[in-house]
């Protein structure tokens, strides 16, 4: 080192006698010359004759040991006292960094193996974060598939809120629609979810106490996905305590529980049998039976009343000639 300094002083003296310039380079100040081409001029380089010696150069462990990085100490010293010589240590200023140290998540090569954080197989997983696999790429992770890493890897999410990670349309920010699926992962599906979004195609359901498929007139319905057992998707029932009374009702032989015969809820009582039966007569002109089917005797027959009903008149042959034979049955007047 001293020899180098003496050489430097001699060179400076020679330069002064040479009008401030070197004959070889023409540089006014030889201290600004980089003779070994290592990127450092003589003023900053502790050995400008050796390109492997300069500030910041790696310290080498080969004998004889030299001060390769110009810090005043040779490569054989342990500057941070971590048990490893500077030439073996990738950072001899930090006693937590040395070969075989524990690799942790800190963006530093702690164990000097050239690998950092997630790229190092020796990473201490307890220092890492927990992420969750996001297979469908909807920004929500699968709680059943955690991913341990220092930083968020591709294909993973910060959260574990996805209830179906193979469907991009199902996640906590999705709209709940009528499809029998919990779209927004809140634990409720379709009409059981207060956040349900219904469409014009979805039904309006009305209470249907008698189960006849019609809700009572004037009752407000629920616009939802589907109707349950005690609901109907139609309204207009005039007696929701009687399953024989509703807008599509057939003729009935008994009234509703309220005693009403208007079973089809149109505001009127319509009788099923409205004709009066005539006698079963033989036409002398045509030799055919002439008759009108219907109730015999008193007419009209009121709703629920029972009477004899002529159903047919048949031409018969007797010993004295043809005659007409009637067919009758007992019927109850039905209404709606």
DSSP letters, 8-39, are HHHHHHHHHHTTT--TTT--S-GGG--SS-SS
Q: What is the DSSP letter of 335?
A: B
- In the predicted structure, residue 176 carries a pLDDT above the cut 70: yes
Beta pairing, strands 289-290 & 281-282:
antiparallel
Over residues 280-293, the pLDDT tens digits come to 999 988 889 999 99
pTM for the model: 0.59
Q: Which residue has the higher pLDDT, 13 or 101?
A: 101
The total number of residues written for the chain in this structure: 336
Task: Give the C-alpha separation, 34 to 48, whole Å.
Answer: 7
- In the predicted structure, residue 87 carries a pLDDT above the cut 90: no
Q: How far is CA 66 from the centre of its chain?
A: 64
Whole-number Cα distances in Å, 12 to 34, 44, 284: 15, 15, 161
176 φ, ψ (degrees, to nearest 5): -80, 120
Over residues 107-141, the pLDDT tens digits come to 999 999 999 999 999 999 999 999 999 999 999 99
Structure token digits, residue 60 = 């080498």
Q: Show me where the domains of the chain are located.
A: 281-332
Q: What is the DSSP letter of 6?
A: H
Count of Cβ atoms closer than 10 Å to residue 24 Cβ: 9
- In the predicted structure, residue 23 carries a pLDDT above the cut 60: no
Q: What's the burial of 333, exposed, middle or buried (CB within 10 Å: 0-12/13-18/19+)?
A: buried
């Amino acid at each position: 080192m001293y020899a180098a300094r003496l050489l430097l002083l001699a060179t400076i003296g020679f330069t002064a006698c040479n009008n401030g310039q070197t004959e070889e380079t023409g540089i006014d100040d030889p201290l600004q010359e980089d003779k070994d081409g290592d990127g450092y001029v003589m003023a900053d380089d502790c050995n400008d004759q050796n390109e492997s010696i300069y500030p910041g150069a790696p310290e080498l462990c080969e004998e004889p040991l030299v001060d390769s990085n110009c810090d005043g100490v040779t490569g054989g010293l342990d500057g941070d006292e971590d048990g490893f010589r500077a030439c073996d240590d990738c950072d001899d200023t930090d006693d937590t960094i040395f070969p075989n140290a524990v690799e942790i998540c800190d963006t530093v090569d702690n164990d000097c193996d050239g690998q950092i954080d997630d790229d190092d197989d020796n990473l201490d997983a307890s220092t890492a974060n927990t992420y969750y696999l996001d297979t469908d790429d909807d920004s929500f992770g699968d709680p059943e598939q955690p991913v341990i890493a220092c930083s968020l890897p591709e294909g993973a999410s910060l959260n574990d809120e996805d209830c179906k990670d193979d469907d991009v349309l199902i996640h906590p920010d999705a709209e709940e629609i009528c499809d029998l699926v919990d779209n927004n992962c809140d634990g409720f599906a379709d009409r059981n979810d207060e956040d349900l979004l219904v469409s014009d195609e979805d039904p309006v359901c009305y209470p249907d106490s008698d189960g006849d498929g019609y809700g009572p007139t004037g009752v407000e319905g629920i616009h939802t996905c589907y109707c349950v057992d005690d609901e109907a998707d139609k309204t207009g029932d005039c007696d929701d305590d009687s399953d024989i009374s509703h807008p599509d009702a057939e003729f009935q032989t008994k009234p509703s529980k309220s005693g009403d015969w208007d079973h089809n809820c149109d505001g009127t009582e319509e009788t099923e049998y409205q004709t009066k039966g005539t006698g079963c007569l033989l036409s002398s002109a045509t030799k055919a039976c002439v008759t009108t089917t219907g109730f015999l005797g008193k007419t009209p027959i009121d709703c629920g009343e029972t009477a004899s009903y002529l159903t047919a008149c048949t031409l018969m042959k007797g010993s004295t000639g043809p005659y007409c034979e009637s067919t009758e049955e007992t019927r109850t007047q039905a209404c709606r």
